Chains A and B, each alone.
Chain A
Amino acid sequence: MLLFNETPEEMGKRTDPAQADAYWGGWTAYMGAIAQSGAMVSGNGLQPPDVSTTIRVENGKRHVVDGPFTDTKEILGGYVILDVAYLDGALEWAARAPCVSAGSVEIRPVMPPPPAPTN
Chain B
Amino acid sequence: MVNDARRIAAHHAELAARDSYGRLLSILAARTGDIAGAEDALAEALAAAVAQWPRDGAPANPIAWLLTVARRSIGHAAGRRRTAEAAAGAVRLLQDEREAAVEAPFGDQRLALMFVCAHPAIEIEAQAPLMLQTVLGLDAARIAASFLVSSATMGQRLVRAKRKIRDAGIAFAIPEPAEARTRIGGVLAAVYAAYGTAWEDVTGADDKLAGLTSEAIWLARLLGDLLPDDPEVMGLLSLMLHCESRRAARRDADGRYVPLHRQDTARWSREMVREAEALLRRASQHAQPGRFQTEAAIQSLHAHQRLTGERFTAPLAGLYDMLASFAPTTGVLVARAVAHAENGDHAAGLAQLYAIAGAGAYQPWWAAQARICWLAGDEGAAERAAQTAAGLSNDPSVRRFLLDGGFREVPAAS
Contact = CB atoms under 8 A, between A and B. Distances in A.
B46 interface: no
A87 B150 contact: yes
A34 B391 contact: yes
A25 B405 CA distance: 12
B28 to A, nearest CB: 32
B388 A32 contact: yes
Interface of B is mostly: helix
B394 A26 contact: no
Interface stretch (B57-65, B130-138, B396-404): B396-404
Contacts of B391: 28-34, 36, 96
A88 interface: yes
Interface residues of B, number: 18
Interface string A5-27: 00000000000000000100110
B60 to A, nearest CB: 48
B361 A98 contact: no
Contacts of A91: 148-150
Interface of A is mostly: helix
A88 B150 contact: yes
A22 B392 CA distance: 16
Contacts of B361: 33, 37, 92
A95 interface: yes
Contact of B153 (A25, A29, A30, A88): A88
Interface string B15-30: 0000000000000000
Interface in B114-163: 148-150, 153
B330 to A, nearest CB: 15
B392 A96 contact: yes
Contact of B148 (A26, A29, A95): A95
B107 interface: no
Interface string A85-110: 00110011001101011000000000
B177 interface: no
Give the size range of A's interface with the partner. 20 to 34
Contacts of B392: 33, 96
Most buried by A among B148, B153, B391: B391
B149 A26 contact: no
Contact of B394 (A31, A87, A88, A95): A95
Contact of A88 (B149, B387, B390, B396): B149
A115 to B, nearest CB: 28
A22 B256 CA distance: 14
B403 A33 contact: no
Contacts of B388: 29, 32-33, 36
Interface string B377-414: 00000000001101111101001101100000000000
Contacts of A101: 396
B360 interface: yes
Contact of B403 (A26, A36, A37, A92): A26
Interface in A28-82: 28-34, 36-37
A98 B391 CA distance: 9
Most buried by B among A28, A92, A96, A98: A96
Nearest to B149: A88
B389 to A, nearest CB: 8
Contacts of A100: 394
Contacts of B400: 22, 26
A93 to B, nearest CB: 9
Given A29-B387, A88-B149, A91-B150, A96 B393 contact: yes
Contacts of A26: 390, 396, 399-400, 403
Contacts of B394: 95-96, 100
A98 B396 contact: yes
A101 B361 CA distance: 21
A37 B360 contact: yes
Contacts of A36: 360, 388, 391
Interface string B51-82: 00000000000000000000000000000000
Contacts of B150: 87-88, 91
A96 B389 CA distance: 11
A30 B400 CA distance: 12
Contacts of A34: 391
Nearest to B390: A29
A88 B153 CA distance: 8
Nearest to B366: A33
Contacts of B396: 26, 98, 101
Given A36-B360, A37-B361, A87-B153, 10 more contacts: A22-B400, A25-B390, A26-B400, A32-B387, A33-B361, A91-B150, A96-B391, A96-B393, A98-B399, A100-B394
The 3 closest A-B pairs by CB, nearest first: A33-B391, A29-B391, A29-B390
5 contacts: A29-B388, A95-B148, A96-B394, A98-B396, A101-B396
